[in-house]
Amino acid sequence: MKLNYRIVIFALAIVFGIVFSVPSLLQTENGKKITLGLDLQGGLHMLLGVKTEEAIKSRIKSIAASVKHFADREDILIENLTFDDESVSFEVLDSDDMPSVEEFAKKIEGATISKNGNVVTISFTPEEKKKIEQHAIEQAIETIRNRLDQFGLSEPIVAKQGKEKILVELAGIKTPQEEQRARELISRAAKLELMAVDEDRNARVYNMSDADAAEYGDIILPDAKNSQIKYLVKEIPILDGSMLTNANVGFDQNNRPVINFKLNAEGADIFGDFTGKNVGKRLAIVLDGKVFSAPNINERIGGGAGQISGNYTVLEAKDLAIALRSGALLAPIYMMEKRSVGPSLGADSIKASLVALIGGFVLVIIFMVVYYRMAGVIANIALIANLFILLAVMSLFGATLTLPGMAGIVLTVGMAVDANVIINERIRELLREGKSAKKAIEEGYSNAMSAILDANITTLIAAVVLYVYGTGAIKGFAITMSIGILASMLTAILGTHGIYQMLEDRIAKSRNYRYWFGIKG
Partner 1 sequence: MEFFKYNKTYNFMGKSKIAMILSIVLVLASWAILATKGLNYGIDFAGGTIVQVKYDKKAPIDAMRERLKADKLFENASITEFGSPDEVVIRMKTSSANVTKDIGDVVREALKGTGNFEIRRVDIVGPKVGNELKEKGLMSLFLAIAGILIYVAFRFEWRFAVASIVALVHDVSISMGAVALFSVDVNLDVLAAILTLLGYSLNDTIIVFDRIREGVTKSKGADLAAIINESITRTLARTTLTSLTTFFVVFTLFMFGGEIIHAFAFTLLVGIIVGTYSSIFVASPILLLFGFDVKKYHAKLAEKAKREAEKERMRAQFESGVM
Q: Which of residues 436-465 bind partner 1 (CB under 8 A)?
A: 447, 450-451, 454-463, 465
Site for partner 1 in 267-296 (CB under 8 A): none
- What is the rounded CA–CA span in Å between residue 172 and residue 184? 17
Gap between the Cα atoms of 302 and 263, Å rounded: 10
In the bound state with partner 1, the residue whose beta carbon lies nearer, of 278 and 340, is 340
Q: What part of residues 477-496 is at the interface with partner 1 (CB under 8 A)?
A: 477-478, 481
In angstroms, rounded to a whole number, what is the distance separating the alpha carbons of residues 429 and 435?
A: 9
Window 359-398: contact mask with partner 1 (x via CB under 8 A) = xxx-xx--xx-xxx--------------------------
What are the DSSP calls for 306-329, one per residue? EEEE-S--HHHHHHHHHHHHT---
- Least separation, in Å, of the C-beta of 120 and partner 1? 37
Between 15 and 464, CB nearer to partner 1: 464
Q: Which residue, 282 or 426, has its beta carbon nearer to partner 1?
A: 426
Name residue 138's amino acid: E
Q: Which is nearer to partner 1, 1 or 468 (CB)?
A: 468
Shortest Å, Cβ 365 to partner 1: 10
- Give, as ranges, the residues between 393 and 422 that touch partner 1 (CB under 8 A): 403-404, 407, 410-411, 413-415, 417-418, 421-422
Residue 335 touching partner 1 (CB under 8 A): yes
Q: Which of 47, 108, 219, 243 binds partner 1 (CB under 8 A)?
A: 47
- Show Cβ contacts of residue 404 under 8 Å, excluding neighbours closer than 6 positions: 473, 474, 476, 477
Rounded Cα–Cα distance for residues 395 and 373 (Å): 33
Interacting residues with partner 1 between 22 and 41 (CB under 8 A): 39
- Beta carbons within 8 Å of 59's beta carbon, 6+ residues apart: 124, 132
Q: Report in angstroms how near the CB of residue 338 gets to partner 1 at its nearest.
A: 4
Instruction: Give whichever of 82 and 177 is closer to partner 1, judged by the CB atom.
Output: 177
Q: Could you give the CA distance from residue 153 to residue 432 in angstroms, rounded to a whole number? A: 65
CA 114, 115, 121 angle in degrees (round to 5)?
55
C-beta neighbour count of 373 within 10 angstroms? 18
* Contact status, residue 343 vs residue 174, Cβ threshold 8 Å: yes
**82, 95, 344, 446: which one contacts partner 1 (CB under 8 A)?**
344
Identify which of residues 311 and 344 has a Cβ nearer to partner 1 in the complex: 344
Judged by CB under 8 A, the residue of 22, 25, 49, 220 near partner 1 is: 49
Distance CA 133, CA 127 (A): 10
- Tell me how far, at minimum, the Cβ of 162 lies from partner 1, in Å: 9
Interface of this chain with partner 1, residues 142 to 181, rule: CB under 8 A: 176, 180
Residue 252 or 348 having the CB closest to partner 1? 348
List, in order, residues 6 or more apart from 199 with CB less than 8 Å away.
Answer: 281, 282
